[in-house]
Structure 1
Amino acid sequence: MADETHNLITDVPGLCVGHAHDAGAATGVTVVVFDEAAVASLAILGGGPGVRDTALLEPEMTAQAVDALVLSGGSAFGLDAAGGAMSALARHGRGYAVGSVRVPLVPQAVIFDLLNGGNKPWASGVGAPPHRELAEQAVEDALASSGVFVLGTIGAGYGATTVNLKGGIGSASARTTEGHSVGAIVAVNAVGSGVIGGGPHFWAAPYEQNAEFGGFGLPPSIPPEALVPRFKGGPGENTTIAIIATDAALTKAQAKRLALAAHDGMARALRPSHALLDGDTVFAASTGRRPLGPSPYELSALGVAAGDCLARAIARGIFEATALPFPGAQLAWRDRFSPTPR
């Protein structure tokens, strides 16, 4: 990891992040663009995913690396975003060489944000959804970025919600004892809750670093009612989607294992998670800047760090979110609680 870190996925060398959103529609797109094509895989543990071009990420498939990964709002309408990212990357000469042409490989996952109060005529058959254009903007934003980006109500998390608080984009980073950097970025649109009971304490509190989501810790005790599952919306209205990145050189099979391990962080930070009503998806990507040692425990340590990072990123996405400016919009954590413990 670089000497100066920002507790963001961009602390992993070899990638950049960009966002774009449509405030009136209350939806957006986030992209992770790799400096060079990155080995990647994924794990889907939710029952209702929305994805594009993810079959190629399975370890037995021919393609070995991807140019970018896309997180988007819009539900299935938002799957146009990958095409926009492909167009933008093609203009920059990126992509898998096939004869005289290049085809950027850009897998994608979406969240459901169609009922958050935004103006979405395209969801009723009028006009086209904005996600293709937003993805092009997000790629250009990524390529021009300094590596620092804001969290909360932005990009793919612009219209995100949870059962009881506004969701959003979260990110976190860490370094393993072997020296590998690990980072997570997530769009938190969960069927469940990221806070214990009514809050302000986060389920992810044991993994918090440097008061990154308020420093409240755990409450003195967890009341039984906080353990009763609460569910938001109906089938297909939820999903938490994330990208884990590391500079450790991984094979696709190892990236698959990393994505599976990272899902532990989702279970630590959200109650419930991986429900039939969720599309919970985690991508894992390797920029390959540092060799991975021969010990299987080194990959296992990466998995622990990835899970911890994802748990922290989920809490940060809720902690940093701001409410949408619509009547009846869901309150944000900051609308209900002070950012510092009383």
Structure 2
Amino acid sequence: MQTGARNLITDVAGLRVGNAQDAVIKTGTTVLVGDTPFTCGVSVMGGAPGTRETDLLAPDKTVQKIDALTLSGGSAFGLDASSGVADALRSAGRGFTVGDQNIPIVPGAILFDLFNGGDKNWTENPYKHLGAEALAAASENFAMGSCGAGTGATLAKHKGGLGSASMVLPSGHTVGALVAVNALGDASPDGQHFWAAPWEVSNEFGNLGLIPSVPTGLPNTKLSSHNTTIAIVATDADLTQAQCTRMATAAHDGMARALVPSHTPMDGDLIFGVSTNAKPLEAEVADTLWLGHAAATCLARAIARGVWHARPAEGDTVPCFRP
């Protein structure tokens, strides 16, 4: 398996990622923005999602391309991150044109990180500012682990985090994943190995080897509603909204490979599927099949990388996988 040059979602040319976080609140926001508007679909398989403008991403809706996506902590408060991004993009002249107005289209999704040891007694919602700050920081290179939307993320037994990975298919298409890992379950059954180990590339999350034996008991869980893993999978292949949605749906297999359990009634597990439309499909059926497989594989790896790169901070309620 060949990764892109950075092994990040930004190996898909034309995409940039920015992070912003508040260490006192223990939360943050991550923004994916395109150099130009991009096609986007969405697939929701968790039972408790929190979203903005996802209805607009259905193939039968009027707007077919968007300007940016936000992943944010803060539960419903975090949806305001998209407002900060939209304001900044509007000032830059970006957006869907209606008469003499530009209206940036910035869907978003949130995770629940309100009980992670941070000070949540703010007097003004901080997420609009965090969204604008993350957009301003957008770059082809960005940090992983305890930053952006992964700042306050937790799992059943470990800290979560922000992760990313990429791969290049024999067709020449690039696929990448970006994820904020905040699951009811965990990325590891024993604190020593990752569920995603079979898909690891080049020691990207420690080369710890395969799980010696699959546990037969119930997996580790929070047994709470303080969860949700949110992700983006992206490609330069020329996909329609419907095909982006199908790629996102296939990518949920990667979430299930890397987090056990996944898609529970108390997770809002959601994946956006993005296409920059830069490279045509040569064989539509075969290419879209392998794009879905690559998206799932990249997402499984990105989840483990996010947990691997998490770092400890004062007031943490759970330890890092790697102390």
Q: TM-score, length-normalised on structure 2?
A: 0.97
Aligned partner of 1:339 in structure 2 is: none
Aligned partner of 1:231 in structure 2 is: 221
1:299 and 2:288 are equivalent in the alignment: yes
Q: 1:140-193, CA deviations, whole angstroms, 9 ceiling, x for partnerless residues? A: 111xx3x11111000000000000100000000001121100000000000001
The residue type paired with residue 224 of structure 1 is: T
User: What is the CA–CA distance in structure 2 between the aligned matches of 1:76 and 1:4, rounded to whole Å?
Assistant: 34
1:216 and 2:205 are equivalent in the alignment: no
**Which 10-residue stretch deviates more, 4-13 or 203-212?**
4-13
**Corresponding residue SS for 1:333:** coil
Aligned partner of 1:181 in structure 2 is: 174
Aligned partner of 1:104 in structure 2 is: 104
1:203 and 2:195 are equivalent in the alignment: yes
**Corresponding residue SS for 2:281:** coil
Q: Displacement of 1:297 after TM fit? A: 1.5
User: What is the CA–CA distance in structure 2 between the aligned matches of 1:217 and 1:230, rounded to whole Å?
Assistant: 20
Aligned partner of 1:62 in structure 2 is: 62
User: What is the CA–CA distance in structure 1 between the aligned matches of 2:15 and 2:7, rounded to whole Å?
Assistant: 14
**Corresponding residue SS for 1:211:** coil
1:250 and 2:239 are equivalent in the alignment: yes
Q: Displacement of 1:121 after TM fit? A: 1.1
Q: In the alignment, which of 314, 318, 321 is matched to residue 330 of structure 1?
A: 318
User: What is the CA–CA distance in structure 2 between the aligned matches of 1:4 and 1:298, rounded to whole Å?
Assistant: 18
Aligned partner of 1:148 in structure 2 is: 141
- Asked whether the equivalents of residues 159 and 324 of structure 1 are also in contact (C-alpha less than 8 Å), the reply is no
Aligned partner of 1:113 in structure 2 is: 113
Aligned partner of 2:253 in structure 1 is: 264
User: What is the CA–CA distance in structure 1 between the aligned matches of 2:25 and 2:215, rounded to whole Å?
Assistant: 38
User: What is the CA–CA distance in structure 2 between the aligned matches of 1:199 and 1:117, rounded to whole Å?
Assistant: 22
Aligned partner of 1:35 in structure 2 is: 35
Q: Displacement of 1:233 after TM fit? A: 4.5
Q: Displacement of 1:61 after TM fit? A: 0.9
Q: What is the RMSD of the two structures over their aligned residues, measured on CA atoms? A: 1.4
Q: 1:119-147, CA deviations, whole angstroms, 9 ceiling, x for partnerless residues? A: 1114xxxx1221000000111111xx3x1
4+ residue stretches of structure 1 with deviation over 4 A?
A: none
Matched residue pairs, number? 322
- Asked whether the equivalents of residues 4 and 167 of structure 2 are also in contact (C-alpha less than 8 Å), the reply is no
Q: Percent identity?
A: 51
User: What is the CA–CA distance in structure 1 between the aligned matches of 2:34 and 2:85, rounded to whole Å?
Assistant: 12
**Corresponding residue SS for 1:118:** coil
- Asked whether the equivalents of residues 324 and 330 of structure 1 are also in contact (C-alpha less than 8 Å), the reply is no
The residue type paired with residue 208 of structure 2 is: F
- Asked whether the equivalents of residues 96 and 105 of structure 2 are also in contact (C-alpha less than 8 Å), the reply is yes
**Corresponding residue SS for 2:35:** strand
**Which ranges in structure 1 are unaligned for 5 or more consecutive residues?**
336-342
